[in-house]
């Protein structure tokens, strides 16, 4: 019980630290942002609210100004969808739907590299 309380408290500190130090979103032209919004429609992030790696990934999404649907992987239907689609319950996980193909990308560094490569240069 003590360990759970410590974990919850630490998680809340991580979330608070993120809120206080969140980076500014990337500024783009209206056309550029519209392009990003359209391309991001096929992305969704499975995550836990207080997971440090999920916070890191959400910070990159915020910095790159990429709107992505967030799914709580602790909730029952999302947990099953993550397991069925991606093959494991591990977060963060970026679900990518493109041209009728579905891809599940794990590991925060790989997700951030993918987002940087795809969205950072859109002006």
pLDDT in tens, 13-59: 888 888 888 889 999 999 999 999 999 999 999 999 889 999 999 99
Are the beta carbons of 96 and 105 closer than 8 angstroms? yes
**Could you say which DSSP state residue 119 is in?**
H
Kindly report each contact of residues 111-115 with a partner whose C-beta sits within 8 Å and lies 24 or more positions away, as own/partner.
Answer: 111/45, 111/57, 111/60, 112/56, 112/57, 112/60, 115/60, 115/61, 115/64, 115/66
pLDDT for 7 equals 78
For residue 62, is pLDDT > 90? yes
Total domains, the chain: 1
Predicted pLDDT of residue 73: 92
Q: What is the pLDDT of residue 28?
A: 93
Residue 103: what pLDDT?
95
H/E element holding 95? strand 93-98
Burial 14-49 (b: 16+ CB within 10 A, else e): bbeebeeeeeeebebeeebbeebeeebebbbbbbee
What residues make up the domain containing 13? 2-119
CATH code of the domain in which 85 resides: 3.40.30.10
12 pLDDT band, cuts 50/70/90, is confident
Residue range 63-77, pLDDT digits in tens: 999 999 999 998 889
pTM (2 decimals)?
Answer: 0.88
Helix/strand/coil (H, E, C) string of 46-91? EECCCCHHHHHHHHHHHHHCCCCEEEECCCHHHHHHHHHHHCCCCC
């Amino acid at each position: 019980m003590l360990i759970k309380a410590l974990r919850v408290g630490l998680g809340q500190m991580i979330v608070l630290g993120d809120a206080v130090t969140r980076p500014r979103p990337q500024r783009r032209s209206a056309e550029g942002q519209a392009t990003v919004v359209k391309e991001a429609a096929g992305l969704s992030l499975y995550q836990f609210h207080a997971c440090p790696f999920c916070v890191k990934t959400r910070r990159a999404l915020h910095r790159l100004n990429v709107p992505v649907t967030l799914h709580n992987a602790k909730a029952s239907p999302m947990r099953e969808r993550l397991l069925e689609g991606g093959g494991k319950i591990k977060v963060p996980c970026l679900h990518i739907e493109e041209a009728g193909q579905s891809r599940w990308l794990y590991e925060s560094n790989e997700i951030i590299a993918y987002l940087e490569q795809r969205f950072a240069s859109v002006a």
